[in-house]
Structure 1
Amino acid sequence: MKTARSYNWWSYIVDMSMERKLFLVFLLIITLPLSFISVISFKSYSASIQANTIAYSEKLIDQMMDSIDDYIEDMKRISSMPAYVNEIKQNLIRSNRYYEQKQSMEGRAGTAAVAPGDMDLLLSIQRGIEENISFINNIKRGTNSVYIFDSYGNGYYSAKDGGVRLDLKQSYTYWSGQTQDSGGEATLLGTQAYTSNLQSTRYAFTVVRKILDGLWKPVGLIAVEANFSNLETQVAELDKVTHGKSVIVDQSGKVIYDSDQKLLTADISRSALFQSAAGSSGSFYDTVSGKDRLNIYSSSSKTNWKVIISIPVDELTHGVKLTRNATIGATLIIIVLALIISIILSFALTKPLTRMIQLMKRVQGGDLDVTFRVKRRDEIGLLGHQFNRMLARIRQLIQDIYRMEEQKKEAELQALQSQINPHFIYNTLESIRMTAEINDDTDAADMISILGKLLRYSTSDVSGWTTMKQELLYVRNYVELLGCRYPGRFELMIDVPDALGDYSMIKLVFQPIIENAAYHGLDDTKPQMHLSITCEHTEQKLLFHIRDDGCGMDQITLDKLNQRLRHDAPPKKSINGGIGMINVHQRIRLHYGPAYGIQVFSTPGEGTDVILSLPLREAERR
């Protein structure tokens, strides 16, 4: 009982008008989702904001880390420049050689005064290296200082903004120790505090690399130092967007940078914040000073540095209540407006469909002279356009059927004209033949006998079918009759496979072409005309070549003939009442389709080739 009742409701909905269905769809699609959203928005909005914040913050962190990675990669490329600047390596080799000799002399003599020539050499080395350092130092924006040391720890530099380390000896000792096993690869060192020559404490991270000569022996060390201006800008932008605080640490837990700059160079590896940020990326919640925080972190695969940003939860849920109230009010307003709009749209959409249904009913009643007025280019407009094209095509097809039927009847009537009183003609010809034999005129008797055969074949069942063997026999009889009239002037050669002897075909397709060649292509300058019928086949057609070596046709006549064949021009009745080449072409197309027919090729003075195409398997077609 319940199933039947459900079926009745479903049937009622299915049978509803399109306008009511659209209204119902709009009502369900708009009202239910909006009502559902207004009910659960307060519970889900907070979680949604936090999830979006995590995804967005991770994306911002990844972008910042990519920027920092690119910046460090540029520093590494800068540190590799001495390997390509031969002047720097040569000056370092000279500096090493000088201090090696100096240590040797000091070892022998205890102390040694610096000679004027040695001072000039040192100044030349220093000037050469510092000029190259000044060039390198200006390549990358954001680098603070570039230092180059020889193997004995003697430093050369050209600092930006006057910020130069005062503890170069200690820095060299630390840097050379960190690159002891690095070969010629660049080494990234974390944030260090140092005192500059301006008596201020500064912080920087450094890329150091050994400088090797052509034999891969170390000749010095380069240190590319960056200040925090680049990190300060990017971290400040990140904190501004997320309303949080950020800290950047290396893989050992040493702080590279933090938003408040209170933890610089500090080790936080034992803190709960660092230990909770396990893995390459993720998020977690914690509580600090009684306030909940959302912590989001992500790591760089190149430097293994990790960015941790802490966002107060209160900042995330600040607008939830306001949004909830605004959502409820907006939902009610939207539902009312949606119902009004759905009524208007359902009427606007169904009105042209109703108009088209009315036109279809008129077409069903036989009125094909209707037109759907297309006003728009949407789907309904396209449907109306196709409806108009369909009606135009139907009208055209009806006209084509009428025209084809008229042409078929006309062709059959022209062929039937030769059937006027056939028995009277047969009897008359037979009486004449008997009279000729009685008078011993055998030639006339033979001609009359052949003519009787031709007449009997052409006038018996004209609209019916015949076989290839009978059709070719008819052609032979016709050429034999021509030979009686014009002795020795015509020679016929037929090369058609015997397997096609039972091939079913329409009558009178070869003889009119042979007749056309004999009467219009005969060349009086040649003693004999050769006529031939050969056959070839493709995958779908039989192609018969009816050739003659007569006078041929000029190009203008040939073009006119082929044009009439292509455009399916109506056949014209010849003077003697025979069936012409155009008639044969049209009969073939009417029986077999537009893919078959006649095509003519001719060369003046050489002859004509008529290609007649028929279906390969006519038996299957029938």
Structure 2
Amino acid sequence: MFYNMEQSTIEESVTYLDSTMARRQDSIRNNVDSINMTTQFFLSDETMNGVLITAKNQGNYSTKEWIEIYKNDVASLERLINTNPVLYGARYYAVTDNVQEMMPVMYNSSRLQNQEWVDMAQEGGWVFNYQDRLFSTSDVTPMMALVTPINDRRYGTIGYIETSMKMSTMFPSMYENVANEISCFVTSDGQVIFGKNTDQNVKNIASELAKNISADDSVNDGLEIKTYYSKEDKSVISGMYIKELSGTLVSVEDISDSINDVYRQRNTFVMWMILVLALLSFAIDLIVRQVLKNFYLVLRTIRQVRKGDLSVRAPLLKRDDEMGELAHQVNRMLDNIQTLMQQNIDRELLAKDSQIKALQNQINAHFIYNVLESIKMMAEMNEEYVISDSITSLGKLLRYSMKWTSENVLVSEELEYIKNYMALINLRFDYDIILSLNIPTAIMMQKVPKMSLQPIIENAIIHGVEEIAEDTTIYIKGVIKDKDCSIEITDNGRGMNDEELDILRKKISGEIATGGGSGNGIGLKNVQDRLKAAFGEEYGIDVATKEGCYTKVSVRIPMSQATNSNNV
């Protein structure tokens, strides 16, 4: 938490100083533009350039001409200076004293010699942190100026222009009393200029930062600001390279007070936490001692249970706390264990009884099979082969239906049962119902719940075929789709209208309750439930129909085995 507070304080300070430097960047850019524009205006004044050429050639103007120059050009330049509040002044300096001085614009060479920057006037450029010594009493205000030599192709250097501004105007942050912040300007030759406050550590930081920024290629694109936090100095440092001035403005904000304040809060918090934890430890020790006293009573009961004594019970604690609840729950658990054990014993007895009954049923089934076999032999002896074949189909049907199994059966086994079922069904009617199979071998090898296809065949006969009472065919077709397959059972019966189909689908899905009578969809509902229980909710049956034409029931199951898909 306090680390985040410290980082938040640092980020706020970095963001604030960075945005402040961006505002200073705009101000400096405007001031530099003002100086450059004024200089260019002075350079373009042909009349004043003519005065400087005349002075260099020792020529003279009449008094009337001087008055005209003063009224027109000098007055115009003076207005230009006065209307620009950021400028301190703009001056011409002649290369000789043969010129009429016209304040505050035109001065002779003697005045030029009084200025600190006279030695570099011939080269021109920016001059920083000098005092204006135009007259004998120099102004102590720190100044900066752009010194520009005026060159003529015929006469050479004819004069100089000094466009000046106060250092405090160009760099107000160096002279304002900004809390915990010191600013300085590093020139291209490495000179570090301070305003009101001077600091050796800041000087070293500024010199190093100025070297790094000036060496960065990105500064060639314009003014560049770099702001970061120095953990060693606990200060936020921001440097702005000024391309036009070939220097770097550096501001260092000391945020040690804010950081130390976070540390003090952290230390105070830690001390209070230690005190609270010590008190809590003492209180918890007392509580745990009291709680464990009752806990060991319950633990003794659990150890006796582990040894096999289920008759033991935990002492009933006259408390409403967790230990009292634990003792109560342990006793309930032991009661439940004894109840479950008794139920398990009863269940095993029931299973034994069921096994005995299953053996009895098996004996009864063998008796029925033996009787049917005897009847079959009697029919064959009397050459009643239709009866013999029917008894054979009935025997297979009974054997399949009475064979108990909890697992699914192969589709081929289910279809074999359906064939026997159809052989017996055709005995009832005076018309034939033909069974047409088109099932790939791969589907034949799949498994379905036992007796899941026969109810669909039975439903097709009762509700589709019997009502038309004529020769017909029931088609069973298998279709493989990706990892699933469908078994489609289609009859050429009476079909259903849309209302009947909608009611049947709702019965199959369980939206409408089914009764126990014929035609209520209970057989298809049972098949649907068994398929979903065996394979999942995405599987089951679907019904499609056309009134007076057909009814098709599709059974969708997963492909669980990979075999050849040859048709059978």
TM-score, scaled to structure 1 = 0.50
d(CA) in 1 for partners of 2:544 and 2:177? 89
After superposition, the C-alpha distances for 1:343-380 in whole angstroms (9 at most, x for unaligned) are: 44667897976466446525633559xxxxxxxxxxxx
1:111 paired to 2:61: yes
C-alpha separation between the residues in 2 aligned to 1:572 and 1:174?
115
Cα distance change, pair 227–462 in 1 and its aligned pair in 2 (3 A): closer
Report deviation, 1:477.
Answer: 3.2
Q: Which of structures 1 and 2 has the larger relative contact order (alpha carbons within 8 angstroms, sep 6+)?
A: 1
Flag the 1:613–1:78 CA change in 2: closer, same or farther, 3 A: same
Matched residues in 2 for 1:562 and 1:194: separation? 105
Change beyond 3 A, Cα 1:225–1:109: closer
1:477 corresponds to which residue? 420
Q: 1:367 to 1:516 in 2, by over 3 A?
A: same
- Kindly provide the CA deviation profile for residues 6-44 of structure 1, in whole angstroms up to 9, marking residues without a partner as x: xxxxxxxxxxxxxxxxxxxxxxxxxxxxxxxxxxxxxxx
Q: 1:372-521 alignment to 2 at 5 Å?
A: 422=365, 426=369, 446-461=389-404, 463=406, 466-483=409-426, 485=428, 490-499=433-442, 501=444, 503=446, 505-521=448-464
The verdict on how the C-alpha distance between 1:249 and 1:79 changes in structure 2, with shifts beyond 3 A counting, is closer
CA distance in 2, matches of 1:347, 1:570: 64
Structure-2 residue corresponding to 1:73 = 25
Amino acid at match of 2:45: N
Q: How does 1:198-237 map to 2 (within 5 A)?
A: 201-204=139-142, 206=144, 208=146, 225-227=166-168, 230-231=172-173, 235=177, 237=179
The residue aligned with 1:611 is 555
Task: Find the partner of 1:99 among 48, 58, 61.
Answer: 48
Structure 2 CA distance for aligned equivalents of residues 56 and 234 of structure 1: 27
Separation in 2, partners of 1:152, 1:548:
121
Which has the larger displacement, 61-70 or 526-535?
61-70
Query: Structure 1 residue 122 and structure 2 residue 73: aligned?
Result: yes
Compared with structure 1, are the counterparts of its residues 596 and 439 closer, same or farther at alpha carbon in structure 2 (3 Å cutoff)?
A: farther
Q: Secondary structure at the match of 1:258?
A: coil
Question: Structure 2: how far apart are the matches of 1:585 and 1:221?
Answer: 102
Code of the residue aligned with 2:454 in structure 1: it is Q
Q: Name which of 127, 130, 135 aligns with 1:192.
A: 130
Residue in structure 2 matched with residue 14 of structure 1 by the alignment: none
Q: Which amino acid aligns with 1:256?
A: F
Question: Using the alignment, how far apart are the partners of 1:618 and 1:363 within structure 2?
Answer: 53
State how far apart, in whole Å, the 2-side matches of 1:97 and 1:537 are. Answer: 96
Q: Give, in whole Å, the separation in 1 of the partners of 2:559 and 2:393.
A: 31
Give percent identity, aligned residues only: 17
Tell me how far 1:149 sits from its aligned partner.
Answer: 7.2
* Residue number among 265, 282, 300 corresponding to 2:239 in the alignment: 300
Alignment of 1:258 with 2:196, yes or no, is yes
Task: State which of 538, 541, 552 in structure 2 corresponds to 1:599.
Answer: 541
Distance 1:227 1:221 in 2: 18
Root-mean-square deviation (Å) = 6.4
Distance of aligned partners of 1:99 and 1:60 in 2 relative to their CA distance in 1, 3 Å threshold: same
Aligned to 1:215: none
Q: 1:520-553 deviations in whole A, cap 9, x for unaligned?
A: 24473997454223142544x5543444454555
Q: 1:159 corresponds to which residue?
A: none
Residue deviations 1:262-282, cap 9 Å, x none?
x8xxxx9xx99968998559x
Displacement of 1:78 in angstroms is 0.6
C-alpha contact (below 8 Å) 1:299/1:306 kept by paired residues: yes
Amino acid corresponding to residue 99 of structure 1 in structure 2 = M
Q: Which residue of 1 aligns with 2:180?
A: 238
Contact 1:96 1:151 (C-alpha < 8 Å) held by counterparts: no
Cα distance, 1:249–1:426 mapped onto 2, change above 3 Å: closer
CA contact (8 A) 1:483 1:490 kept: yes
SS at match of 2:452: coil
Work out whether residues 495 and 535 of structure 1, in 8 Å CA contact, stay in contact via their aligned partners in 2. no
> Contact 2:143/2:164 (CA < 8 Å) preserved in 1?
no
Unmatched tracts of structure 1, length 5 or more: 1-54, 138-143, 154-163, 212-218, 240-245, 282-293, 316-322, 369-414
SS at match of 1:455: helix
How is 1:16-415 mapped onto 2 (pairs within 5 angstroms)?
A: 69-70=21-22, 72-79=24-31, 81=33, 95-100=44-49, 110-111=60-61, 113-114=64-65, 122=73, 126=77, 129=80, 134=84, 137=85, 144-145=86-87, 170=112, 174=117, 190-194=128-132, 201-204=139-142, 206=144, 208=146, 225-227=166-168, 230-231=172-173, 235=177, 237-238=179-180, 248=184, 250=186, 252-259=190-197, 279=208, 300=239, 302=241, 303-304=247-248, 338-344=277-283, 354=323, 357-358=326-327, 361-362=330-331, 364-365=333-334
State the alpha-carbon separation in 1 of the partners of residues 366 and 535 from structure 2. 34
Displacement, 1:453? 3.0
Tell me which amino acid in the other structure corresponds to 1:607: T
Matched residue type, 2:402: T
8 Å contact from structure 2 (residues 92, 107) kept in 1: no
C-alpha displacement of 1:62: 7.6
Decide whether the 8 Å contact of 2:52 with 2:94 is kept in 1: no
Q: Which amino acid aligns with 1:257?
A: G
Q: Is the 8 A contact 1:553 1:608 kept in 2?
A: no
Question: Whole-Å Cα distance in 2 between the matches of residues 165 and 109 of structure 1?
Answer: 20
Contact persistence 2:116–2:130 (CA under 8 A)? no
Q: Aligned-pair distance for 1:195?
A: 7.2
1:181-227 Cα deviation digits (max 9, x unpaired): 87xxxx6x543333799x9945345475989xxxxxxx998655442
Bigger Rg over Cα: 2
TM superposition shift of 1:451:
3.6
In structure 1, C-alpha distance between the alignment counterparts of 2:336 and 2:162, rounded to whole Å: 98
Residue type of the alignment partner of 2:551: G
Match of 1:544 among 457, 462, 487: 487
Aligned amino acid, residue 599 of structure 1: I
Gap change, CA 1:278 and 1:518, over 3 Å in 2: same
Counterpart of 2:194, as a letter, is: I
Gap change, CA 1:74 and 1:499, over 3 Å in 2: closer
1:151, 1:200 → 2: CA distance?
Answer: 17
- Of 594-603 and 548-557, more deviation after overlay is shown by 548-557
Q: Which amino acid aligns with 1:114?
A: E
2:468 is matched with which residue: 524, 533, 542?
A: 524
1:361-402 superposed Cα distances (whole Å, 9 cap, x missing partner): 25633559xxxxxxxxxxxxxxxxxxxxxxxxxxxxxxxxxx
Amino acid corresponding to residue 600 of structure 1 in structure 2: D
Is residue 75–residue 207 contact of structure 1 (8 Å, CA) maintained in 2?
no
The alignment of Structure 1 onto Structure 2 pairs a total of residues equal to 438
For 1:225-270, what per-residue CA distance to the aligned partner results, in whole angstroms no more than 9, with x for missing partners? 442794377545228xxxxxx78474645542234xxx8xxxx9xx
1:145 partner amino acid: L
Report the CA distance shift for 1:194/1:509 in structure 2 as closer, same or farther (over 3 A): same
Evaluate the alpha carbon distance shift between residue 77 and residue 546 of structure 1 in structure 2; reply closer, same or farther with a 3 A threshold: farther
CA offsets 1:460-492 (integer angstroms, 9 cap, x no match): 336565433222222233344445555776454
> Residues 535 and 557 of structure 2 are in contact (CA less than 8 Å); yes or no, is this contact kept in structure 1?
no
Letter in 2 for 1:238: N
CA contact (8 A) 2:478 2:485 kept: no
Distance apart, 1:600 and its partner CA: 1.7
CA distance in 1, matches of 2:388, 2:485: 38
TM-fit CA distance, 1:91: 5.6
Answer yes or no: is the 8 Å Cα contact 2:411–2:443 preserved in 1.
yes
The 1-side partners of 2:502 and 2:285 are apart by: 61
